[in-house]
Structure 1
Amino acid sequence: MKLAVYNVENLFDRAKAMNLASWDEGRPVLEKFAELNQLLGEIDYTPADKSRMVALMRELGLEKSDTGPFVILRRNRGGLLRRPRPGGIVIEANGRADWVGSLELRYEPVNEHAMRNTARVMIDIQADVLGVVEAESRPVLSAFNTEILPALGGEAFRHVMLIDGNDERGIDVGLMSRDGYPIGTMRSHVDDRLPNGQPVFSRDCPEFEVTTPSGNRLLVLVNHLKSKGYGGMAASNAKRKAQAERIAQIYKSLIDNGETNVAIIGDFNDTPASAPLAPLLDETDLKDIFEHPAFDDGGWPGTYGLCNASNKIDYILLSPGLFDRVQSGGVFRKGMWPGSRPRRWDAYAEVKRPADAGSDHAALWAEIDI
């Protein structure tokens, strides 16, 4: 069985703020969006809340219209605000119950070459079980599977599953598997909470039960942990550490209940020696596929960007029972921008510039005798 994981960075559509030339341009927009969304969700609006809402709406381009360059304010019923003729914004609602609507990100199509190169990676790694990170939704993932993969000469996966998570940007995690590898019981952790009542997982930590043709059972947990680039560093590290601690608890519970074949895969947004990932990497018996003697890193230690050691952020972690059955493994980078001076690896001919890359992430794979 070949197990793989790939951060596809959206398939058809991506939030406009995430499609800007650099993360430094998009991050302020996403942070203001998150802050305004939180304020709009408060039960009661204080004068300070209203003042801050107005400031954020102006910064997001909503002063004259409910449609800004990166966000849309949908007002279905009730009176959230008014815009006087002289200009400006006045918040009239006194709390969330006074109006019906939502604040949403605006989306735009993904670069066509990038979309096709994403599909080429999914085809060429020839995975039996593929964990997918940053997919918009199950209908989108299913459509990509049945429409785009066959159009490029690939075979569609037999099973496609994705559970909507906590992220409002349409970047969820899911699983795809071939005929003979049915997805059985699924368990979501979308409602796991921190002591302060906030969700543990930025997206989710779904457990997927997969049965192999030989009748063995495999549990795959797909993850996308808190990024470093969105929010303050201390808060981001604390969130990522809490997520790693919870995943470790889930894993230990599975092992205590007799499970032996467990894989935890995904984009963890941090390096192996980082303190936030220590509860998962140092305090469990999980093994990183990079540590297996039969694993080939392709000459570069990382999995993101130009694949330096500081960009080793994608993982396939295996329980000892699975790790001992690994026959081979590797990093698939043909869909990534290889750099230009010099080109670091062979890429698809269609990857002529960074925007054409299927993803900034490599796909990881492991061939396991199970």
Structure 2
Amino acid sequence: MKIATYNIQNIFYRDRVLVKKYREENEALWVEEFEALMLQGIRTTKEFNRMRALSQLLGFEDSQNSPYLTMSHKRGQLFLKKNIAAREYKATHLTDWNGWVKLNSKPIDDTAINNKAKVIKEASPDVLILIEVEDRASLLEFNKHFLSEAYTHILYLETNDVYGRGIGVLTKKGYRVISMKSHVNDFDENGNPIFDMDLQEYKISTPSGTIVTVLSTCFLDDTANPVQSNAKIEIQSKRIAQIYQTIDTSDDLVAVVGTLNTPSYSKLLSPLTEETDLKDVSKHNTFEVDLDKGKDSKYFRLGAYKMGVNIKQRDYLMLSTELYKAVKNSGLIRKGIWYKKQPQWEMLKSIKNELHIASEHPLIWSQLKIS
């Protein structure tokens, strides 16, 4: 059995607030790079292309990020995301008219969508947990047109997220989700939802009938309110640890997966890392990942996955003792991530600039000796 978790950061469209946040976080680096290129006397074709990409990212050429969709004088329907099968865009109303409608989401670049699929296909897991998915329809369309219908069972549950991001689980033939449970309605002592998004429990049956329990979640990282954000992460960690301890399974085959947005050494995760038997698969001796290029390949950054893999750990595949013993091999795929300055690593050749990234997160996988 091969299991993987991937924060895909939406498939076909993403909330404009999240797109804006990403641009604001990277603006200083883009300005610095653009100014350096401007000061060069002679520029190569590659450098001119980079300047064009930067001008779009910085908003100088902002047609792709316009908050309005111009509607043409046609009959049909209004699509706020790409119709992959038809490969066309339609806009209309009850009668023919020209006008505009304000959009809350931005379509994701076609190249980026293809790169999301490339990352998943390289891992080709039997059980795939996708974080930050916009809806079930997108999952079905993505599986059909980009994953060659590799997954026969597709499930999706909405969460508490204000931007409409949910969690999906996809399984190949022979693997079935026999039960699901959501914790969106778990409340703290003040009556507020404990989970930013959700904690979802899946009981998954393998072809041989073995049952594996998977808990999937996503903690949000609120950089504007770090104290409040840290307190929330600790509360969520404690709740997951409590639920983990009560799971009724004879073989203790349990995985906790998702985006925790905190390095493993953080005390905020101690309920999971110190008060349970869960083990991070990135610490397993089989954990494979392409090392950083240059001097970074011999460097270990505190909070990174391992020596020579110097990206901040935000995503986890944690296994119970019995499941950890069943690990045959494991690894991380970050070819779909765009590096900023240092460290650098191998990227998909189709990624020419930040618009093409599959996600800001790596895919983490583990092959388990379970049939």
Shorter-chain TM range is: 0.7 to 0.9
Which residue is 1:107 aligned to? 105
Pairing of 1:188-337 with structure 2 (within 5 A):
188-229=182-223, 231-254=224-247, 258=250, 260-299=252-291, 302=304, 308=310, 311-337=312-338
In the alignment, which residue of structure 2 is the partner of 1:11?
11
Q: 1:43-95, CA deviations, whole angstroms, 9 ceiling, x for partnerless residues?
A: xxxxxxxxxxxxxxxxxxxxxxxxx959xxxxxxxxxxxxxxxxxxxxxxxxx
The CA deviation at 1:337 is 1.4
Q: What letter is aligned with 2:273? A: L
Q: Which residue of 2 aligns with 1:145?
A: 143
1:157 corresponds to: 151
The match for 1:184 among 163, 178, 182 is: 178
After superposition, the Cα gap between the structure-2 partners of 1:173 and 1:119, relative to the gap in structure 1 and judged at 3 Å, is: same
Amino acid at match of 2:169: L
1:358 aligned to 2:358? yes
Give the TM-score of the pair, scaled to structure 2.
0.72
Q: Is the 8 A contact 1:137 1:172 kept in 2?
A: yes
Give the root-mean-square deviation of aligned CA atoms. 2.3
Please give the alpha-carbon distance, in whole angstroms, between the structure 1 residues aligned to 2:137 and 2:367.
Answer: 29
Deviations 1:176-212 (CA, angstroms, capped at 9, x unpaired): 1100001111111110001110001111111011111
1:224 counterpart letter in structure 2: C
Distance 1:324 1:146 in 2: 35
TM-superposed deviation, 1:25: 6.4
Kept in 2, the 8 Å contact 1:327–1:368? The answer is yes
2:123 maps to what in 1? Answer: 125
The one-letter code of the counterpart of 2:151 is F
Partner Cα distance (2:251, 2:163) in 1: 34
- Asked if the contact 2:290–2:346 (Cα under 8 Å) also holds between the matched residues in 1, the reply is no
> CA 1:200–1:315 in 2, change beyond 3 Å: closer, same or farther?
same
Q: Assess if the C-alpha contact under 8 Å between 1:266 and 1:314 holds in 2.
A: yes
Q: Partners in 2 of 1:307 and 1:163 — Cα distance?
A: 33
1:206 partner SS: strand
1:307, CA displacement in angstroms?
A: 5.7
Determine the structure 1 residue equivalent to 2:132.
Answer: 134
- Mapped partners of 2:354, 2:21: distance in 1: 10
8 A Cα contact 1:338 1:346, kept in partner = no
Give the conservation status (yes or no) of the 8 Å contact 2:186–2:193. yes
**Using a 3 Å threshold, how does the CA distance of structure 1 residues 355 and 272 change in structure 2: closer, same or farther?**
same
Question: 2:25 & 2:317 partners in 1: Cα distance?
Answer: 31
Q: Shift of the alpha carbon at 1:340?
A: 5.9
Give secondary structure in 2 for the equivalent of 1:166: coil
SS in 2 for 1:316: strand
Distance 1:163 1:21 in 2: 25
CA 1:338–1:279 in structure 2 vs 1: closer, same or farther (change >3 Å)? same
Stretches of structure 2 that go unaligned for 5 or more consecutive residues are: 27-65, 69-101, 293-299
Q: Which residue of 2 aligns with 1:116?
A: 114
* SS of corresponding position for 1:330: strand
Give, in angstroms, the shift of residue 108 of structure 1.
Answer: 1.3
Q: Give, as a single letter, the amino acid of the residue that structure 2 aligns with 1:347.
A: M
In 2 relative to 1, CA 218–105 (structure 1 residues): closer, same or farther, beyond 3 Å?
farther
Relative to structure 1, the CA distance from residue 235 to residue 105 in structure 2 (aligned partners, 3 Å threshold; closer, same or farther) is farther
1:130, distance to aligned residue in structure 2 (A) = 0.6
Are the aligned partners of 1:7 and 1:267 in contact in 2 as well (CA < 8 Å)? yes
Contact 2:261 2:314 (C-alpha < 8 Å) held by counterparts: yes
Distance 2:229 2:251 in 1: 31
In the alignment, the residues of structure 1 paired with residue 276 and residue 115 of structure 2 have an alpha-carbon distance, to the nearest angstrom, of 36
SS state of the match for residue 134, structure 1? strand
Give the conservation status (yes or no) of the 8 Å contact 2:251–2:322.
no
**3-state SS of paired residue (1:219):** strand
In the alignment, is the contact (CA less than 8 A) between 1:287 and 1:317 conserved in 2?
Answer: yes
Q: What is the identity percentage for the equivalent residue pairs of Structure 1 and Structure 2?
A: 34
Deviations along 1:198-239, whole A, 9 cap, x unmatched?
A: 00111111101111112100011111012142x411100010
Cα deviation 1:325-364 (Å, max 9, x = unaligned): 101000111211145667x222211111122110011100
Shift of 1:105: 7.8
TM-score w.r.t. structure 1 length?
Answer: 0.72
The 8 Å contact of residues 298 and 330 in structure 1, kept in 2 or not, is answered as: no
- In the other structure, the counterpart of 1:98 is none
The secondary structure found in structure 2 opposite 1:277 is helix
Matched AA of 1:251:
Y
Query: Closer, same or farther in 2 for the Cα pair 1:243/1:197, shift >3 Å?
Result: same
- The corresponding residue for 2:160 is 166
Deviation digits for residues 111-138 of structure 1 (CA, Å, limit 9, x no counterpart): 1111110111111111000111110112
Q: Do the aligned partners of 2:337 and 2:362 also contact (CA within 8 Å) in 1?
A: yes
Which residue is equivalent to 2:54?
Answer: none
Contact 2:316–2:364 (Cα < 8 Å) also in 1: yes
Report the more deviating stretch, 294-303 or 264-273.
294-303
Q: Which amino acid aligns with 1:147?
A: H
CA contact (8 A) 2:180 2:202 kept: yes
- In structure 2, relative to structure 1, the CA distance for the partners of 1:259 and 1:170 (3 Å cut) is farther
